[in-house]
Amino acid sequence: MKMQLAEIAKAVDAQNDLGESATITVTSVHFDSRQLASESLFVPLRGEHDGHEFIDSAREHGAIASLWAADEADHAPHDFPVLIVDDPLIAMTQLAAYWLAKINPQVVAITGSNGKTTTKDMTASLLSTEYNVVKTYANYNNEVGVPFTVLSMEANTEVLVVELGMDRFGQLDELSRLVAPDVAVITMIGEAHIEFFGTRDKIADAKMEITHGLKADGRFVYDGDEPLLVSRAQNIANEQRTFGQQSANDLYPTQINQDTNLHTTTFTVNQWPDEIFTIPLMGDYNVNNALAALTVAQLFHIRTANLVKGLGAVAITKNRTQWLTGAKGEAILSDVYNANPTAMKDVLRLFAQTPAKGRHIAVLGDMLELGQDADALHASVAEALVPDQIEEVYLIGPHMQALAQTLTTSYPKAAIHYYPTAGKEQLIAELLADITADDEVVLKASHGLHLETVLTALQS
């Protein structure tokens, strides 16, 4: 972005006179004082810490102005331009809405219980073959991340591919109305956040909020294999497209082949019977993500050759079913950013199919926000764990104890390793002592378990 401070002040209804500072030009916005670039606007947010406390750090890292909460006005710096607002987060959202309207790109908004980040990456890769595209960084998909993504657009942006997350009713409503999508996508309905919603039906209701901001001529793309979405889509007047494994969908695969050595998948699709698509991922669920992205690309009239090219060249966000190599030479399938029962079973079944000279070892941590059925849902993961396919299982977290107990009926006792959350260092030490270069390891848990520390240890 690029705006003078006076224009920003007007967009956010700043309460103070900027004087000579009005003509200062801001070229970026950030809420983390450590990640500011030169000529940045600092947004001091309140969370575990109050961002106003980091104004000195922001200035050192390149900030040339800052938003500032009105109730902190007495502590505002006098030698540095600030915009006094009621709430810096609300002001950042107002600024994002203003910038979005000014640039006026087409907007693709993506949500879902699983696969939204991968679908975002695939969609952006496909559209980038013919448009100037900006996509959500990592998984910056909440009330802070979405405005940040919008404000990261350059003036020449033609398409914004934005990921929208949720953990409560009303959240997607707000985010959808902010970005006003031209295309709204729901990848799937799972059990993520069921602690807050109670049932999959209510999760589906909340996911459908992505359509609340959908433009009148916008299109709705969703998983046509999911009855909860099919029934709710009947209440949406917008044009609709479906994807999925079943032939009743607008887009479905006619053949799927997994290359367990290259960790890739090739598939054909009904709409382009003579084309072979390749993605650098495995699993039918990732084919579904690709189908969602292809459906969006079709709406944008991307040429067939570029559809093949865009999927083949997709850069997947870190720690989403990412194959890596450990320090001993072992293959590691890292999927440590998030987890729900459906996704964990899918990844384990995929992992079990990959060839290994040695053993398949699973390292699994608690899946959070599953509510009163958390133990039962963790225990259900046993469906995807077969001793002659995945020989060793390391489990960490209080709910994973339910899975450990369930596995005692099918696994030798010595193959099940359980640790409380505080036992991560012991897990790491025993895993490092156990693993060999010929083994393969999968890491999967909710981000709150921080299995990335196990990944770091394996690679060090």
For the record, the structure tokens of 206 come out as 């909340």
Of 316, 335, 282, the residue nearest 441 (C-alpha): 335
- CA gap 109, 100 in Å, rounded: 14
Contact 292, 245 (CB under 8 A): no
- CA gap 130, 106 in Å, rounded: 13
For residue 260, say whether it is annotated as part of any ligand binding site: no
For the record, the structure tokens of 84 come out as 């006094």
For residue 112, say whether it is annotated as part of any ligand binding site: yes
**Continuous segment of H or E residues that includes residue 406:** helix 400-407
Q: Are strands 25-26 and 3-4 parallel, antiparallel or unpaired?
A: antiparallel
**Continuous segment of H or E residues that includes residue 266:** strand 264-269
Of 365, 345, 367, the residue nearest 452 (C-alpha): 365
- CA gap 64, 441 in Å, rounded: 47
For residue 142, say whether it is annotated as part of any ligand binding site: no
- CA gap 314, 291 in Å, rounded: 14
For residue 338, say whether it is annotated as part of any ligand binding site: no
For residue 170, say whether it is annotated as part of any ligand binding site: no
Contact 355, 433 (CB under 8 A): no
Contacts 24+ apart (CB under 8 A), 453-456: 453/424, 453/428, 454/336, 454/363, 454/424, 454/427, 454/428, 455/319, 455/324, 455/332, 455/334, 455/336
- CA gap 305, 163 in Å, rounded: 26
Contact 344, 171 (CB under 8 A): no
Contact 31, 92 (CB under 8 A): yes
For residue 16, say whether it is annotated as part of any ligand binding site: no
- How would DSSP label each residue in 191-239? STTHHHH-SHHHHHHHHGGGGTT--TT-EEEEETT-HHHHHHHTT--SE
Contacts of 232 (CB under 8 A, 6+ apart): 204, 205, 208
Give 458's strand partners.
none
- CA gap 226, 211 in Å, rounded: 17
C-beta neighbour count of 248 within 10 angstroms: 10
For residue 116, say whether it is annotated as part of any ligand binding site: yes
Task: Provide the annotated binding site.
Answer: 112-118
Task: Provide the annotated binding site for ATP.
Answer: 112-118
